[in-house]
Structure 1
Amino acid sequence: MNSFQQINDSASKMELEAWDWIVRLDGDEPLSDEEKQQLSAWVKQSPEHKKMLCKHSAFWMDDRIAQTVLSASSTSQQTTKQPFTLFGAPSLAVLTMCFVVLIAGYFIQTPTSNQTQAIASYTTNIGEYKTVSLQDGTKVILNSNSKILVNYQDDSRNIWLVEGEAHFKVSKNHNRPFYVVAANSRIRVIGTAFTVDYSNTDNVEVEVTEGQVSLALTEPLKKTADFHNKNNAAKNTELALMSAGDFVSIDSSIAADTPASSIATSVARLSKEELQNRQAWQQGEMVFNGESLAFVISQVERYTALDIDLADQQLAELRVGGRFKINQIEFLLTSLQNNFDLEVRRLGKYKVIISRNKEK
């Protein structure tokens, strides 16, 4: 889905539970026997549970989910085992009919226990990037000048991107959803790979490299104490389901209760080259393909202590292309001077002025 979908902000507990089951059914791994029993018990609690599960299944309109459900074991107390079904009839056609209704929902887990664990902090300095291995096998690559807080609980894995940028390669665990909060944006996954960029505090950028993520608005975290149980308690406005290759930029000043339909920003599809270029920092590179000189300067300043000014603001729109090593900024500045008829002057150790070359 490449556009924001408006949803009902007053989602009930039943709706949240139904949506969580849909997410589990869509996972790469089949439900465990215990999960199948739990699903069967949940469906049998009320006819409304059946309707709600059907209602929320439109996002995952494929036969794989139906087959997963139909092939699961029944938790009935009957002596003879019967095929596991949600609606009483083991028919793919019956289940598929549920997929005709398109509606969004909230991604939030129903906690069974919430034992608070110690919050871990990971940071990088300017010009540094590092890979962090979390306790569940999830890999996090932190870009320059970044900070995350990690709060793993019994039923959820929670990350607060306080500043900077991070790429997440999430280990799958259906019983412990993985959340990342940055400013007013929250990403929820079971197991996938994606990047969140909050280096510019005016917006939060999200790009998905593998699998799918759920994007939502939430109340920004203000202090570490707010981080405990935040994802369980927050009222989130669901915006979109993003797939591999999708990119979005969210205005960080948008309130959590803003209707999704009123947000002008939409999810965009990146080409393979665009996605690779945006991920190049993980290999220690900056790749530009016609970006403005102003943007190039912002990236140089991101990785160094340099303060770069343009003597002529018209130069800001000069288009630049090339591949540069992050640890070879002097080569980039020399390239600008030699290939774009510019003059690069240093005023002290960290001050740089870029102007038009007056010598023709």
Structure 2
Amino acid sequence: MTLPETADAINRTAADWAARADRGLTDAEAAELAAWLEGDSRRAGAYMRMTAVLVGTETEDSNATGAAWARRTPASGLTRRQWLVGGGAIAASVVGAGVWFGLDRQGRYVTRKGEKRVVALEDGSIVTLNTATRLEVRYSETQRLIRLADGEALFDVAKDAARPFIVRTGGVDVRAVGTSFTVTGGAGRPVKVLVREGVVEMVRPKAPTQLPMRLAANTRAVVADAASPAVIAKVEPTEVNRELAWREGRLVFAGESLSAAAAQFVRYSDTRIVVSDPVLAGSGVAGVFDANDPVGFAQAVAGSLEARAEVREGQVLVTR
């Protein structure tokens, strides 16, 4: 009788596949990976965790300098696979302990202003936290519950029909089985749901007269407050991608007013962009900008609008 594959063996093979996928797979390798994933229900979760580890180390490495870089860099000469399996021989337990992804012992995940984090959950789901986000994970035998206290996160959900995946914030429950969507909420702000793939169900437990709503891919729903109905709209895939540019540390504008664009930077930096001229504030802006560089944005926009950007302590003043 063939013995079941051990978790350690699955993790090692998953690490190998993650490293190979990082450099690019041939069609034959992609088919081989798909067949391997289908062979055991535990493999998909392990593969997603290893992929998240790889993404997490790349994110940390890109921001690392000096001594911090030295502490995170794998031993000289290790390949990426050896780092995952060797230098990261405990990769699965590292993910579980949250060493790279900000998980504390109570199941809380936090990012500071200007930060983002990739979190691999125990079921293989991946959560990407945007700037200044706080959420709590509580898994049980019947459900996978995420309480979003504040901020924004992208959820790539592993399928598990027996345990629905629920994101709860601002009196709204967003339920999914296997899909990809973002939720923004907390701190008195409107709840916004943007579905990238699959279908989610939006439920409002504290508003029993409002029936559950199903949201398909490329759909946005906004709930202004507990008493307001949800405003649902279809959006183009290009707009979905634009709104998810924060995953790469970018903000993309396509005609928004300068004042609206400036307000977006407040989420990522303590340096404020001040536009006192109402005509200038209403001017449309377009382009791709570093979310953590409000000064660079203000200077670029000022140049295109024939204005001036004056850098002061804690702010950038844009004037004619």
Displacement of 1:293? 1.0
Residue equivalent to 1:160: 147
Number of the residue aligned with 2:250: 285
Shift of the alpha carbon at 1:208? 0.4
Kept in 2: contact 1:347–1:353 (CA 8 A) = yes
1:167–1:138 distance in 2 versus 1, CA, 3 Å: same
User: Could you tell me whether the CA contact under 8 Å between 1:174 and 1:190 is conserved in 2?
Assistant: yes
Following TM superposition, by how much is the alpha carbon of 1:182 offset from its aligned partner in structure 2, in angstroms? Answer: 1.3
Q: Distance in 2 between matches of 1:196 and 1:289?
A: 22
Instruction: Pick from 238, 242, 245 the counterpart of residue 211 of structure 2.
Output: 238
Give the conservation status (yes or no) of the 8 Å contact 1:185–1:252.
no
The correspondence of residues 332-347 of structure 1 with structure 2, limited to 5 A, is 332-347=297-312
Report Cα offsets for 1:49-84 as digits up to 9, x if no partner: xxxxxxxxxxxxxxxxxxxxxxxxxxxxxxxxxxxx
Contact 1:246 1:270 in 2 (8 A): yes
Report the counterpart of residue 317 of structure 2 in structure 1.
353
Correspondence 1:329 to 2:302:
no
Letter of the 2:265 partner, please give it: V
- The TM-score normalised by the length of structure 2 is 0.64
Amino acid across the alignment from 1:212: V
Query: Could you give the per-residue CA deviations for residues 77-97 of structure 1, whole angstroms, max 9, x where no partner exists?
Result: xxxxxxxxxxxxxxxxxxxxx
Q: Report the Cα offset of residue 245 of structure 1.
A: 0.4
CA distance in 1, matches of 2:307, 2:221: 34
Deviations 1:327-349 (A, max 9, x none): 4433212111111122222231x
Q: What is the Cα-based RMSD across aligned positions, in Å?
A: 2.1
**For the pair shown, which has the larger CA radius of gyration, 1 or 2?**
1
Percent identity between matched residues is: 30
Structure 1 unaligned segments of length 5 or more: list them.
1-28, 30-117, 220-233, 256-262
- Which residues of 2 match residues 45-60 of structure 1 at below 5 A? none
* Structure 1 residue 273: Cα displacement: 1.1
User: Residue 224 of structure 2 aligns with which residue?
Assistant: 251
Q: Matched residue pairs, number?
A: 217
Q: Distance in 1 between matches of 2:179 and 2:186?
A: 22
SS state at 2:261 partner: helix
Specify the alignment match of 2:178 in structure 1.
Answer: 191
Aligned residues of 1:247 and 1:268 also touching (Cα < 8 A)? yes
Residue 309 of structure 1: how far off its partner (Å): 2.1
Q: Secondary structure at 1:308's aligned position in 2? A: strand
Q: Deviations over 1:185-239 (max 9, x none)?
A: 21011111100112773311111011000012234xxxxxxxxxxxxxx958434
TM-score of the superposition, structure 1-length normalised?
0.57
Amino acid at match of 2:223: I
Which residue does the alignment assign to 2:191?
Answer: 204
170, 173, 182: which one pairs with 2:157?
170
SS at match of 1:238: coil
1:150 & 1:312 partners in 2: Cα distance?
45
1:73-112 alignment, distance < 5 Å: none
Say if 1:236 and 1:173 are closer, same or farther in 2 by CA, change over 3 A: farther
Change (3 A) 1:143 1:333: same
Q: 1:140 to 1:218 in 2, by over 3 A?
A: same
Matching residue within 127, 132, 141 for 1:140 = 127
Shift of 1:355: 1.7
Match of 1:310 in 2: 275
Q: Describe the superposition over 1:75-128 as per-residue Cα deviations: whole angstroms up to 9, x where unpaired.
A: xxxxxxxxxxxxxxxxxxxxxxxxxxxxxxxxxxxxxxxxxxx84100101110
Q: Which has the higher contact order (CA 8 A, sep 6+)?
A: 1
